């Protein structure tokens, strides 16, 4: 069949004979010819209705059909809040009439009703595509709110319970000679936590960072694979195992009578902190572009100096964030410090001589073995927990400031 025969109107179809318009197949053939041969010659284009004759809406005979329009209507901006309010009020009234009102059931039923009603309303006004998009967005928002519930409840309960003893006496005095009452504080435990965490950080950061540099820049073959495997295994070990390892190590070195001291607890925290620093630093070093290394090598800079002056400064922002996460991971550990550092009621600033109190162990002792009356001991435990949360928040804030200060500047002036 020739092209001219394809472009002729079909006399067997009544609409073609009356209007003289081309069939969909002829229109497609004419369009292909116009596109192929350069397109402005009207003699090469299949006959059909011009723009002045009006356009025809798509029918079921057309080859392409859209199940939903991309320009459908939109819901008003505050429709979601309105539907949520209606669902909450309606479920509340129904629960009151049924006589089985609880906060949990009210929230769960209201959320389910909101998801269903919001999807139905959006489907009727905006179409299937936007309705499903809103439904997915509602599910993501719901998951985010569910994740915030334990965090917000933890912070609120800790602040409300721990603010009663959050005073200067709590941070300056110890429990030496305190039997009961509101006297005493956790100054010795705060001091011990800072000393042990500082020693663990000073030991862990060089080891972890140098291990990451070796794995990224030098490590090849079975040795690098074995180190990576050991780091992954150490990331998941229980904290009590790290405490037992550090205690057994110092028993072999200094004996059983002298093994309980601050440095033993610091070594136990190192076992937990080093894998986090290695993994985070390794990921950050791998993100440094190879072009920076190659440019440095092209200028004649040796590899060690390239790592020190180019690679590490470029990844310093992420490395600092990983170090802060490692400190936050170990600063609240109780089990290894209970075995290794022990607990005393007085201040001991020497980590190499005798047991040393730490804040997690102090909270554990105050809550698990209270005296008479019990209320002051519980109040000190809650204040110690609040202090731990504040220390972690301060560390994260300092880490963000350092990361922002040393982050590479990519903007052009």
DSSP output for 237-259 = S-HHHHHHHHHHHHHHHH-STT-
Sign (positive/negative) of CA torsion 335, 340, 342, 348?
Answer: negative
Provide the total of helices (H) and of strands (E) in the chain, helices listed first.
Answer: 18, 0
pTM (global) more than 0.75 = no
- Give the model confidence (pLDDT) of 78-107 as tens digits: 888 999 999 999 988 888 888 777 888 888
Domain ranges of the chain: 3-53, 79-161, 172-406
Share of the chain above pLDDT 70, in %: 80
pLDDT at 5: 46
Mean pLDDT of 3-23: 45
pLDDT of 34 over the 60 cut? no
Q: Which residues contact 297 (CB under 8 A, 6 or more apart)?
A: 303, 306
Helices 316-330 and 187-213, axial angle in degrees (round to 10): 140
Rounded to an integer, what distance in angstroms lies between the CA atom of residue 243 and that of residue 336?
Answer: 4
Q: What share of the chain is helix, strand, coil (3-state, %, to 5)?
A: 70, 0, 30
Model confidence band, residue 370 (pLDDT cutoffs 50, 70, 90): confident
Model confidence band, residue 398 (pLDDT cutoffs 50, 70, 90): confident
Asked if the 172-406 domain carries CATH number 3.40.190.80, the reply is no
Model confidence band, residue 31 (pLDDT cutoffs 50, 70, 90): very low
Question: Residue 253 to residues 247, 258, 351: CA-CA distances in angstroms?
Answer: 10, 9, 16
Share of the chain above pLDDT 90, in %: 36
Written as six digits, the tokens of 312 are 């590490």
């Amino acid at each position: 069949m020739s092209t001219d025969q394809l472009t002729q109107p079909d006399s067997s179809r009544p609409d073609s004979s009356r209007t003289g318009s081309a069939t969909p197949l002829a229109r497609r053939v004419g369009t292909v010819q116009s596109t192929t041969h350069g397109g402005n010659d009207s003699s090469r284009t299949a006959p059909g209705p011009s723009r002045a004759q009006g356009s025809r809406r798509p029918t079921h005979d057309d080859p392409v059909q859209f199940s939903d329009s991309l320009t459908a209507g939109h819901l008003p901006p505050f429709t979601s809040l309105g539907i949520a309010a209606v669902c909450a009020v309606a479920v509340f009234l129904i629960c009151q009439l049924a006589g089985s009102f609880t906060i949990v059931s009210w929230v769960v039923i209201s959320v389910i009703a909101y998801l269903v009603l919001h999807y139905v309303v959006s489907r009727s006004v905006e179409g299937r595509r936007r309705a499903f998009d809103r439904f997915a967005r509602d599910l993501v928002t719901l998951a985010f709110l569910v994740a915030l519930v334990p965090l917000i409840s933890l912070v609120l309960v800790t602040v409300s319970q721990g603010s009663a003893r959050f005073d200067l006496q709590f941070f300056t005095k110890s429990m030496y000679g305190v039997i009961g009452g509101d006297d005493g504080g956790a100054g010795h435990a705060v001091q011990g936590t800072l000393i042990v965490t500082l020693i663990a950080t000073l030991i862990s950061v060089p080891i972890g960072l140098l291990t990451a540099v070796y794995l990224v820049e030098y490590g090849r073959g079975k040795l690098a694979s074995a180190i990576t495997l050991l780091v992954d295994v150490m990331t998941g070990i229980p904290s009590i195992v790290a405490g037992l390892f550090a205690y057994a190590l110092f028993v072999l070195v200094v004996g059983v009578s002298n093994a309980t001291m601050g440095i033993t607890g610091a070594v136990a925290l190192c076992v937990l902190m080093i894998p986090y620093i290695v993994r985070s630093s390794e990921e950050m070093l791998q993100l440094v572009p190879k072009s920076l290394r190659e440019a440095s090598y092209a200028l004649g800079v040796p590899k060690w100096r390239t790592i020190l002056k180019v690679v590490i400064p470029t990844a310093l922002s992420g490395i600092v964030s990983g170090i802060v996460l490692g400190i936050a991971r170990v600063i609240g550990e109780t089990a290894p410090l209970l075995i290794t550092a022990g607990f005393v009621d007085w201040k001991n600033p020497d980590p190499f001589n005798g047991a040393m109190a730490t804040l997690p162990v102090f909270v554990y002792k105050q809550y698990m073995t209270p005296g008479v009356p019990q209320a002051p001991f519980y109040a000190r435990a809650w204040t110690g927990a609040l202090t731990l949360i504040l220390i972690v928040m301060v560390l994260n804030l300092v880490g963000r400031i350092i990361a922002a200060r040393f982050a590479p500047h990519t903007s052009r002036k």
